[in-house]
């Protein structure tokens, strides 16, 4: 749409844009740093002229002739009417008006400065598109963003999502700090800038919405907008390494399970038994999953992140009646800790702090956790994805973690050195899955920032080149890997929110159902519980309550071997 068309449509537009002339910008303001805040004038609806009230005439008494010797009384003139009050500037319309009358009303939400209605980037002054362009440059550091960014014409707010998709940017229903909130509602749509995120809500900053040509901030439900991820400042603080359940097979065809419910209570379940509360109720972060591993005695060790960013870890007491938890360090409340057994049979723990520092700790012969051993550069690791620990075919402990820039590094803790894995930039909001197959192959399943699900094998001490599993995968959910019928399967969430189950090894085929019923939320990571005599159980989502949805495909349907089935899992 050209300049002429835009100016014509501007007479009733809420958020419009055009290729227009630029003007100089004054100093930024405190609460509203938009350069043209309250500047310029809009066409106003003609006001009725204010008529001065006509004074009511005062009857003049008949003159009485003075008595002899008296002076004639002087004639007193009535006082003049008071002068009209000085005009007042209306900050919205930019016009002076008589305070005795109504404030000016903009005929359209278009402002001009020295004859121009456009800002320096080709958007209409004091409209939502102009304000968001300013935010993207100042807060997101997108210095080149303008109405012709990427060789496209961004135009009205209703066009922004389509343009972003054409340029290859993610457009979805998941907010992020610094993302553009966009809606097609209204005649020409609306855009705003995401400044904060809460449970189910986003706080947006905007222009020309509730206040014509003015700044506003409001909290709205997440679903009111779609979100354009042009260059996010930070991911949502509510997207972590969450998972509805974690499980560890016990070698007898059953599994131990652990989870943190929506109220922040940690629950642990032995095979075939109801889940029991571990630690104080309501203590743990509901944004992340706990970590679980079985020692050589078959006893569970569990670790979980609290709401205040502490890591509590422990195992069953000697009587087997409860778990004693100890404070063993700090963690970001959006990142799970990781647990594994070392070659000595004692647990190893890894955790990423809220500042992005990754450390490991070992449980010593003295029955205490060791001092933290830092891994890699401090302040460099992603805080919305968890480190993962697991064994390789030689019994060594492998650590894998993602940096804040999306680089993936792996290290063998037994005298290994940190190595960067080849491949595309990883998602910083999706935790990888590390698995050891029955043939002794260690594999890493990981979602990239572009939504590809890549698979890397550990061969000796080197990682292979990544292969991919077809699909458009959500970078906001973590894949889960489990074995059924002697073959690995991966459950992962598509960008559309659909939960899919695929063969975990590229080139293999799966006989399991490909699509599982789920909430359709692209941020809900699945959980897997595997049983050699009962099949693969997929926990589709956490939901608002403490009850997860459980779906299964029995193993005998895959292998042809029948056996009694028993879930042994209390969601």
Which homologous superfamily does the CATH classification assign to the domain defined by 246-559? YVTN repeat-like/Quinoprotein amine dehydrogenase (2.130.10.10)
Q: Residue 537, Cα to own-chain centre: how many angstroms?
A: 28
**Whether the predicted pLDDT of 500 surpasses 80:** yes
Biggest distance spanned by C-alpha atoms of the chain? 141
Q: Report the run of H or E that residue 408 belongs to, with start and end.
A: strand 408-412
HEC-encoded secondary structure of 428-446: CCCCCEEEECCCCCEEEEE
Q: Which residue has the higher pLDDT, 568 or 180?
A: 180
Distance CA 492, CA 473 (A): 7
Q: How confident is the model at residue 552 (pLDDT cuts 50, 70, 90)?
A: very low
How far are the Cα atoms of 330, 350, 383, 515 from residue 315, in angstroms, in the given order? 19, 16, 26, 36
- Residue 59 Ramachandran class (φ > 0 left, ψ -120 to 50 alpha, else beta): beta
Place of tokens 């004859």: 115
Q: How confident is the model at residue 241 (pLDDT cuts 50, 70, 90)?
A: confident
- Inter-residue contact 48 to 100 (CB < 8 Å): no
Residue 455's pLDDT is 97
Place of tokens 């695929």: 502
Q: How many CB atoms lie within 10 A of CB 227?
A: 23
Rounded to the nearest integer, the mean pLDDT of the chain is: 84
Percent of the chain with pLDDT over 70: 83
Q: Residue 513, Cα to own-chain centre: how many angstroms?
A: 30
* Least-confidence region, from 203-207, 394-398, 521-525: 521-525
Sign, Cα dihedral of 249, 250, 251, 253:
negative
Q: Residue 195: phi, psi to the nearest 5?
A: -105, -20
CATH number of 3-46+107-235: 3.90.1720.10
- Inter-residue contact 92 to 106 (CB < 8 Å): yes
Distance CA 267, CA 279 (A): 9
Distance CA 36, CA 24 (A): 9
Q: What is the pLDDT of residues 83-96, one digit of tens each?
A: 889 999 998 889 99
Distance CA 477, CA 534 (A): 26
Residue 460's pLDDT is 84
Q: How confident is the model at residue 522 (pLDDT cuts 50, 70, 90)?
A: confident
Q: What is the pLDDT of residues 168-185, one digit of tens each?
A: 898 888 999 999 999 999
Q: How confident is the model at residue 545 (pLDDT cuts 50, 70, 90)?
A: very low
Distance CA 140, CA 230 (A): 9
**Two tokens at 321?**
């009646």
Residue 191's pLDDT is 98
- Inter-residue contact 550 to 571 (CB < 8 Å): yes
How far are the Cα atoms of 220, 332, 395 from residue 198, in angstroms, in the given order? 10, 17, 43
Q: What is the pLDDT of residues 24-65, one digit of tens each?
A: 333 333 378 999 998 999 999 987 777 766 666 655 565 666
Rounded mean pLDDT of 504-525?
83
Q: Residue 513: phi, psi to the nearest 5?
A: -60, 135
- Inter-residue contact 294 to 302 (CB < 8 Å): no
**Two tokens at 44?**
């106003």
Residue 461's pLDDT is 84
- Residue 230 Ramachandran class (φ > 0 left, ψ -120 to 50 alpha, else beta): alpha
Q: How many CB atoms lie within 10 A of CB 350?
A: 29
* Least-confidence region, from 64-68, 79-83, 235-239: 64-68
Residue 319's pLDDT is 57
Residue 41's pLDDT is 92
Q: What is the pLDDT of residues 449-462, one digit of tens each?
A: 999 999 999 988 89
How far are the Cα atoms of 50, 388, 392, 465 from residue 421, in angstroms, in the given order? 76, 14, 16, 8
Q: Where in the chain is the domain with CATH 2.130.10.10?
A: 246-559
Q: Which of 48, 46, 47, 45 is nearest to 11 (CA)?
A: 45
Q: Residue 423, Cα to own-chain centre: how many angstroms?
A: 24
**Two tokens at 236?**
């949502």
Q: How many CB atoms lie within 10 A of CB 553?
A: 20
Place of tokens 């743990």: 284
Q: Report the residue count for the chain.
A: 571
**Whether the predicted pLDDT of 435 surpasses 90:** yes
pTM equals 0.78
Q: What is the pLDDT of residues 336-384, one digit of tens each?
A: 999 999 999 999 999 999 999 999 999 999 999 999 999 999 999 999 9
* E strands, 118-200, in order: 170-172, 176-177, 180-183, 190-198
Q: Where in the chain is the domain with CATH 3.90.1720.10?
A: 3-46+107-235
- Inter-residue contact 504 to 489 (CB < 8 Å): yes
Please name the residues in contact with 538: beta carbons below 8 A apart, sequence gap of 6 or more. 491, 499, 501, 516, 526, 527, 528, 550, 551, 552
Q: What is the pLDDT of residues 305-326, one digit of tens each?
A: 999 999 999 998 765 568 999 9
**Whether the predicted pLDDT of 550 surpasses 50:** no
């Amino acid at each position: 749409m050209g300049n002429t068309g835009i100016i014509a449509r501007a007479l009733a537009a809420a958020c419009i844009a055009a290729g227009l002339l630029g003007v100089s910008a004054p100093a930024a303001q405190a609460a509203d740093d938009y350069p043209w805040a309250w500047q310029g004038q809009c066409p106003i609806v003609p006001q009725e002229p204010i008529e001065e009230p006509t004074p009511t005439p005062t009857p003049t008494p008949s003159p009485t002739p003075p008595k002899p010797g008296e002076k004639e009384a002087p004639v007193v003139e009535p006082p003049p009417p008071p002068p009209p009050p000085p005009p007042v500037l209306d900050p919205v319309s930019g016009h002076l008006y008589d305070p005795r009358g109504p404030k000016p009303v903009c005929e359209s939400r278009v402002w001009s400065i020295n004859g121009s209605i456009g800002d320096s980037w080709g958007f209409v002054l004091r409209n939502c598109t102009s304000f968001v362009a300013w935010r993207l440059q100042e807060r997101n550091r997108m210095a080149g963003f303008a109405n012709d960014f990427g060789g496209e014409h961004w135009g009205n707010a209703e066009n922004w999502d389509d343009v972003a998709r054409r340029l290859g940017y993610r457009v979805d229903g998941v907010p992020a700090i610094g993302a553009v909130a966009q809606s097609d509602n209204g005649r020409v749509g609306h855009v705003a800038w995401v400044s904060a995120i809460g449970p189910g809500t986003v706080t947006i900053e905007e222009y020309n919405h509730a206040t014509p040509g003015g700044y506003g901030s409001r909290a709205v439900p997440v679903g009111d907008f779609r979100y354009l991820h042009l260059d996010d400042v930070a991911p949502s603080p509510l997207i972590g390494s969450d998972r509805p359940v974690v499980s560890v097979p016990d070698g007898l065809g059953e599994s131990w399970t652990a989870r943190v419910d929506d109220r922040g209570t940690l629950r642990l379940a032995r095979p075939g038994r109801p889940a029991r509360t571990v630690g104080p109720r309501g203590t743990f972060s509901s944004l992340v999953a706990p970590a679980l591993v079985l020692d050589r005695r078959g006893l569970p060790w569990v670790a979980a992140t609290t709401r205040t960013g502490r890591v509590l870890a422990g195992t069953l007491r000697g009587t087997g009646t409860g778990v004693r938890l100890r404070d063993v360090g700090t963690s970001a409340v959006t990142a799970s800790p990781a647990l594994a057994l070392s070659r000595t049979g004692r647990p190893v723990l890894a955790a990423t702090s809220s500042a992005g520092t990754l450390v490991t700790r070992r449980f010593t012969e003295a029955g205490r956790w060791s001092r933290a051993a830092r891994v890699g550069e401090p302040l460099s690791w992603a805080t919305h994805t968890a480190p993962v620990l697991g064994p390789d075919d030689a019994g060594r402990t492998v650590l894998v973690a993602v940096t804040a820039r999306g680089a993936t590094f792996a290290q063998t803790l037994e005298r290994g050195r940190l190595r960067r894995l080849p491949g595309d930039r990883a998602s910083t909001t999706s935790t990888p899955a590390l698995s050891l197959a029955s043939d002794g192959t260690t594999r890493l399943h990981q979602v990239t920032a572009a939504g590809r699900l890549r698979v890397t094998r550990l061969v000796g001490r080197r990682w292979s080149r990544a292969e991919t599993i077809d699909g458009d995968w959500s970078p906001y959910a973590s894949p889960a890997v489990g074995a059924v019928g002697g073959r690995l399967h991966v459950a992962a969430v598509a960008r559309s929110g659909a939960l899919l189950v695929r063969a975990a090894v590229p080139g293999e085929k799966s006989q399991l159902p490909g699509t599982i019923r789920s909430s359709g939320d692209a941020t809900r990571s699945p959980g897997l519980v595997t049983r050699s005599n009962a099949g693969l159980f997929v926990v589709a989502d956490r939901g608002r309550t403490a009850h997860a949805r459980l779906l299964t495909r029995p193993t005998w349907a895959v292998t042809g071997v029948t056996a009694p089935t028993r879930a042994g899992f209390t969601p």
